[in-house]
Structures are given as structure tokens and as C-alpha cells.
Structure 1
Amino acid sequence: MDSNEDEKPPAKRASGFQISLKGRALRLLSQREHSRLELERKLKPFEETPGELAEALDFLQAKDFINEQRVVESVVNRRAAKLGASRVRQELQAKGLPVEAITQAVQEMRSTELERAREVWRKKFGAPPADQAAFVKQVQFLNRRGFASEVVRQVVDNAARLSE
């Protein structure tokens, strides 16, 4: 019987096999948009030689795999339906995005803040507050979601007035 061990396909994960930093970054980017800072945080433990990670991220940024504007748009699209501008601003800042891009995105969100707050309130409560405790609960809920205080007050006050 012939021994054809040389022709067997190699194991997928042979011992000692390491995925490159570019490969790891691309895997993360295939799941969702990531900012450069996020990738640095996630990939730093896998950097073997100093400067290797920066070089890999520079390459990916030059090829437009890392794009800060796409990250901003992605976060806004995913989170705007449930959160107010303040909370979205916090998420964007945590990702280390440019201040100008964050400011512009938040300004655009402010124009629809009242409608979005009404929709979030309607999905969660749908009925005006029955008493002072319910009123406080509704206000706190919308505040925690990052909606502006004046918008929260307007949504909950209007709901309370409609029930009278």
C-alpha cells in the first residue's frame, strides 16, 4: 500500500500558525466598521514587534478599509432610532473619531430628535403617565437614552396633556 501522506491537505490550524495583524483587522472589519483607535485597542495584544500594528493599519487605511466617515455613518444608522444625540455622541467619542465628524453627525441628529424621542416613547410606554411616579419613570427612561432634556419634557408633557 502506497503512503500518500505528502498529498494530504494541510490542517487548517497547524500548531504555531498565527493570523497576521492585517488578517485580524480585516476579520474585524468584515463584521462591522471599526475606527483606527478601536482596531488599535483590539489588536495591540497581538503585535509582536513595535510598529508592526501601525504599519498594518496604515496600509488598511490607505486602501480605504478603515474609513472614519463610514464609521460615523454606521453608528448613526444603527443607533439613531433608539438613542438621542447625546448618547450617540458618547459612542462616537469612545471610538476616537474626529471632533468635526462627530459634531456634524450630532447636529444632523438634533433636527429629528423630537420625532425619534416620540417614537421611542411610543414603543416603550404608548400611554400617558398615570401618576407622578410614572411621569418620572418616563422622563428618566428618555434621559438615559440620551435625548435632550427639553425634548424629553416636551414628549412626556404632551402625552400627559393628551390624557387629561
Structure 2
Amino acid sequence: MAETGLRERALRHLARRDHSRAELARKLAPHGSAEEIGDVLDRISELGLLSDDRFAEAWVRGKAARFGTSCLRSELARRGVARDTIEAAIATEAGEDDAERARAVWRGKFGVPPADAREWARQARFLQSRGFGTDVIRKILKENPDESA
């Protein structure tokens, strides 16, 4: 496929939402050679249309209120963002600490302290699935002490 066709395809993807360089390369892979794709991505990056930093910051900004730091890190890494870029985006965009975000997520889903050990485990699994660490989960669920848990 001609380089202009790849560039147009890349721009269409970027018009919908920001992408990481690795994501965009993966989406363009069936339509051209690795060299052609690399050239197109380099040119788009030079123009400022493709930026892993901007992508990571926007992604963290959009997801930080609902997910823990570990989930944010792993998802950005899965999308091909470099570790230092991930850490910078989390530091600037996550804002409040994990405990505050976990408390807000817990309040939105449950709002009442666990009544027994089974409910405590259910609430803990929910928070863990959102990427919050066990120390944060214990802190949030112990704020409303329950002898059975």
C-alpha cells in the first residue's frame, strides 16, 4: 500500500482518539511493511500528531478516578507505553493517592461496611479487580471495623 494510504489510515485512527505508537503500528501492520509503517509514524510524530506522552496523560486522566495505580500501569504497558512515560503520566494526572480513589470507588459501589466475612471478601475482590493494592483495600474496609472480618 502506498505511504499516503497508510498516513490517511493512521490519521483516521488518530482522529477518533489518541493512540500510543505501538497501538497505531499494530493497527497499521496488515496494511503495509514495517519500514513503511515506521516512516509514517515517524513523520506523524514529527508533526506532533502522535505522542505517547499525550496519550498516556489523557488515558490516565480518563481512568484514574475508577482504577488503582497498578491497573493503570499494567494497562498502559500493555498498550506499548514506556515505563518512564507511564510513571510521569501517573505522577501528573492521577492526582490524589490510591486510598482516596479506592474510597471513592468503594463508596460508589457499596457505601455500607461489610456485614460479614463473605461480604468483606466480595468488596475486597471488587477493589482488587480495579487495581488497588491489598494494603489500600484493608485500610478502606477496616475504616468500618467488623469483628467477623
Taking structure 1 as the reference length, the TM-score comes to 0.80
Does the 8 A contact of 2:68 with 2:102 survive in 1? yes
Residue 105 of structure 1, aligned match among 86, 89, 95 = 89
Please list every run of 5 or more consecutive structure 2 residues that lacks an aligned counterpart in the other structure.
none
Please list every run of 5 or more consecutive structure 1 residues that lacks an aligned counterpart in the other structure.
1-18
Per the alignment, residue 136 of structure 2 pairs with 151
1:154 maps to amino acid: K
2:135 maps to amino acid: E
Structure 1 residues 106 and 148: CA distance shift in structure 2, 3 A: farther
Residue 56 of structure 1, aligned match among 26, 31, 40 = 40
Per the alignment, residue 93 of structure 1 pairs with 77
CA shift, 1:106, in A, is 3.7
Residue 62 of structure 2, aligned match among 55, 78, 87 = 78
CA offsets per residue over residues 120-149 of structure 1, 9 Å max, x none?
000100111011100000011101100121
Instruction: Measure the CA separation in 1 of the matches of 2:18 and 2:100.
Output: 27
Secondary structure of the corresponding residue to residue 143 of structure 2: helix
CA shift, 1:157, in A, is 1.0
Secondary structure of the corresponding residue to residue 48 of structure 2: coil
Instruction: Measure the CA separation in 2 of the matches of 1:111 and 1:36.
Output: 28
Secondary structure of the corresponding residue to residue 51 of structure 1: helix
CA shift, 1:107, in A, is 4.5
Query: Is it true that 1:38 corresponds to 2:28 in the alignment?
Result: no
Aligned residues: 142
Rg larger for: 1
Say which structure, 1 or 2, has more relative contact order (CA 8 Å, 6+ apart): 2
1:140 maps to amino acid: R
Instruction: Measure the CA separation in 1 of the matches of 2:55 and 2:13.
Output: 13
Percent identity, aligned pairs only, is 38
Taking structure 2 as the reference length, the TM-score comes to 0.88
